[in-house]
Structure 1
Amino acid sequence: MLNRVVLIGRLTKDPELRYTQSGVAVATFTLAVDRNYKNASGERETDFIPCVTYRQQAELCANYLSKGKLASVDGRVQVRSFEGKDGQRRWVTEVISENVQFLSPKESGSSGNTASNNNGSVGTYGHEVSLDDDIPF
């Protein structure tokens, strides 16, 4: 079996950082990902995909990502359910992020680690890739 997702998109708002009762950092954010085709009226449609990351990566996302920033997420799809306050069963589909790469250019005057290899890919702390995409929100 295989459950693997790779996304590139822009954050719709700043990541939310929380901690579990046992002290594990959890960051949640939503990526806006354009579809590869245009609809009947000639416009690109966008999917808004909820993502979750844990531990040190969650803290890094909360510190270095913000609304409109371009990011790549590599992870798996998880579907979970819970009972709402009204007693109804609710289902949530989200991407559990195993690796998040920061793709927006580094802001001038800010400090941060960059990690890249010879083939031009960007590491988890990187800010090297610059893509001139319009923000869909």
Structure 2
Amino acid sequence: MNQVALIGRITKDPELRQLSEGRVQTNFVIAINRNFKNVNGEIDTDFVSCSVWGKLATNVVKYCGKGSLIGVGGRLQSRSYEREDGRRVYIVEVVADEVRFLALKEREEKAIQQQANQQAVSGQTQAVPAGFVLPTEEAEGLPMG
């Protein structure tokens, strides 16, 4: 079984990458505080790389930015490559198939609400893309036809 579920804050605004055959992808890092203090009495933080593909990647870039609190569900993937200096670099990342938007930045929340209001006035609705989940409190204000 290879399943991962994490909650953390995005450390940098994600950027969408256009790949071959029209595929889109984004990478981002989430910061996750540990539940205990170290020997110095400080709370350590883990930084976890995440990768998202397709429409879900588009929505993450559109709605999430640095400081957004998100939940990520997916699987761990490891890979390696050789650097120019001959050293092998190993990478472990979460390949997300579900992202929950828990607390967006204030300006992003306003942008989402404005977009939802504009769509409601014009009678437009959008289908919810696969893997895109909003908490109930946030979903109530958005058209999810």
TM-score by length of 1: 0.78
Tell me which amino acid in the other structure corresponds to 2:102: L
Contact 2:98 2:133 in 1 (8 A): no
Question: Which position in structure 2 is the counterpart of 1:124?
Answer: 132
Corresponding residue of 1:132: none
Stretches of structure 2 that go unaligned for 5 or more consecutive residues are 117-130, 139-145
Q: Equivalent residue for 1:78? A: 77
- Residue correspondence of structure 1 range 49-64 to structure 2 within 5 A: 49-64=48-63
Which residue number corresponds to residue 28 of structure 2?
A: 29
Task: Provide the rounded CA distance (Å) in 1 between the counterparts of 2:49 and 2:111.
Answer: 30
Residue 22 of structure 1 deviates from its aligned partner by: 1.7
- 76-85 vs 49-58, greater mean Cα deviation: 76-85
Q: Which moved more, 1:85-94 or 1:103-112?
A: 103-112
Aligned twin of 2:97: 98
**Separation of aligned partners in 1, 2:21 and 2:49:** 23
Q: List per-residue Cα deviations over 1:51-101 (Å, max 9, x = no partner).
A: 000000000001000000000000111100112222322111100001011
Seq. identity, %: 41
3-state secondary structure, aligned to 2:132 = coil
Alpha-carbon separation, structure 1, partners of 2:111 and 2:84: 46
Give the Cα–Cα distance (whole angstroms) in 2 for the partners of residues 15 and 8 of structure 1. 16
Distance (whole Å) between structure 1 residues aligned to residue 67 and residue 92 of structure 2: 22
> 1:108 & 1:125 partners in 2: Cα distance?
18
Q: How much does 1:125 deviate?
A: 4.7
- Number of aligned residue pairs: 119
1:47 aligns with 2:46: yes
Q: Does residue 12 of structure 1 match 2:14?
A: no
More helix as a share of residues? 2
Determine which structure has more spread, i.e. the larger CA radius of gyration: 2
CA distance in 1 between partners of 2:72 and 2:133 (Å) = 13
**Alignment partner, residue 142 of structure 2:** none
Q: Does the CA contact (< 8 Å) of 2:63 and 2:112 recur in 1?
A: no
